[in-house]
Amino acid sequence: MSCLPCQNDPNLIVGLERADDAGVYKLSSELAIVQTVDFITAIVDDPYTFGMIATANSLSDVYAMGAKPLTAMNIIAFPSDTMDISVMTQVLRGALAKLKEAKVSLIGGHSIKDKELKYGLCITGIVHPEKVITKSAAKVGDKLILTKPLGTGILNTALKAGLLKAETNARLTEQMLRLNDKAAEAMVSMGVNACTDITGFGLIGHTCEMAEGSGVAIEIFCDKIPIIPETLEFARMGLIPEGMHANREFRACMVEEGKVDNDLLSVLYDPQTSGGLLISVPPDKAETLLTRIRQAGDEEAAIAGQVINKPKSQIILV
Ligand code: CO
Ligand code: CO
Ligand code: CO
């Protein structure tokens, strides 16, 4: 958003100038508010589950900043001519269940009539102004922890095509429903340099943002990346979401692809819904933090890369 005019507000800690997962505004020397908004089209048939996933997805940006979410507001686009109003009730019930789990209060919102169901939330959280975790402070030598496996875009495409086994579907749903709260808590308690969450731009897209923002290069350990089972097989069959191609086209110029095969590349660029956190942590803390994150419930978390010293912001697949 660099084409927009600058705002010179001294209390603005994170704004449009250095786009991050959420905006951060200082209220006092002890307190800053964190704000973000996110909404998505229905990715699953069950409206209650969709409400829960959209909520976990919206909360994720606040966790990625190292902040604690407090309040939420609905954003609903609803096709009232073609869909029964009970669907909206179910979406909201799902959202409320997830918000309750996250100890966040729903305080309002806004709905419009639209051709397609869309739902999400505007979330407000709090953080100490000096403890904000951005995506632009990764340091050379840091290890990168990815907390959830990749594959939600490809598997949701397979689901729409009716090709997903019940077992894989259950795993996919469980992962999209899982909050990033515990991983974030572990990260905040240990202290890390940078974090972002993996969503629509895929692992590579969000890694690129971290590299650019931090002025570093990043190596991705391709054989260490956690991937949901069957994702690679569906990629091979061509069940690839539209967004993957856009992500790849946009970022290919920054990426040294090496000998990585095309199916794995599709997974690395696959747009994620309610994906995990990507945490840049000093090397001496990496193993301990990884263990804590796994014990807290993200059992497939892995050290997925490292920050290296290179003159240009680049992503190197090794
Ligand atoms: Co984000
Ligand atoms: Co977002
Ligand atoms: Co209104």
Task: Write the pLDDT tens digit of every residue in 248-273.
Answer: 999 999 999 989 999 999 999 999 99
What's the 75 CA to ligand 3 centre distance in angstroms?
9
Model confidence at 18, in pLDDT bands (50, 70, 90)?
confident
Q: In this structure, are residues 76 and 94 in contact, taking their beta carbons and an 8 Å threshold?
A: no
pLDDT value, residue 8: 81
Model confidence at 311, in pLDDT bands (50, 70, 90)?
confident
pLDDT value, residue 7: 74
Model confidence at 2, in pLDDT bands (50, 70, 90)?
low
What's the 102 CA to ligand 1 centre distance in angstroms?
17
Overall average pLDDT of the 39-59 stretch: 95
Neighbours of 70 (CB within 10 A): 17
What's the 259 CA to ligand 2 centre distance in angstroms?
31
pLDDT digits (tens, 9 = 90+) for 19-48: 799 999 999 999 999 999 999 999 888 999
Structure tokens at 225: 């990346």
- pLDDT tops 70 at residue 183: yes
What's the 21 CA to ligand 2 centre distance in angstroms?
6
β-sheet bridge partners, residue 121? 38, 74
Write down the residue that tokens 């692809």 correspond to. Answer: 257
- pLDDT tops 70 at residue 209: yes
What's the 67 CA to ligand 2 centre distance in angstroms?
14
Please report which ligand is nearest the Cα atom of 37.
2
What's the 111 CA to ligand 3 centre distance in angstroms?
7
Please report which ligand is nearest the Cα atom of 122.
2
What's the 51 CA to ligand 3 centre distance in angstroms?
20
What's the 62 CA to ligand 1 centre distance in angstroms?
8
pLDDT value, residue 225: 98
pLDDT value, residue 3: 63
pLDDT digits (tens, 9 = 90+) for 117-128: 999 999 999 999
What's the 84 CA to ligand 1 centre distance in angstroms?
32
What's the 34 CA to ligand 3 centre distance in angstroms?
21
Q: In this structure, are residues 280 and 207 in contact, taking their beta carbons and an 8 Å threshold?
A: no
Q: In this structure, are residues 62 and 69 in contact, taking their beta carbons and an 8 Å threshold?
A: yes
Q: In this structure, are residues 135 and 20 in contact, taking their beta carbons and an 8 Å threshold?
A: yes
Write down the residue that tokens 């927009």 correspond to. Answer: 4
What's the 315 CA to ligand 1 centre distance in angstroms?
19
Overall average pLDDT of the 159-171 stretch: 96
What's the 196 CA to ligand 1 centre distance in angstroms?
6
User: What is the C-alpha to C-alpha distance for residues 218 and 204, in angstroms, rounded to an integer?
Assistant: 10
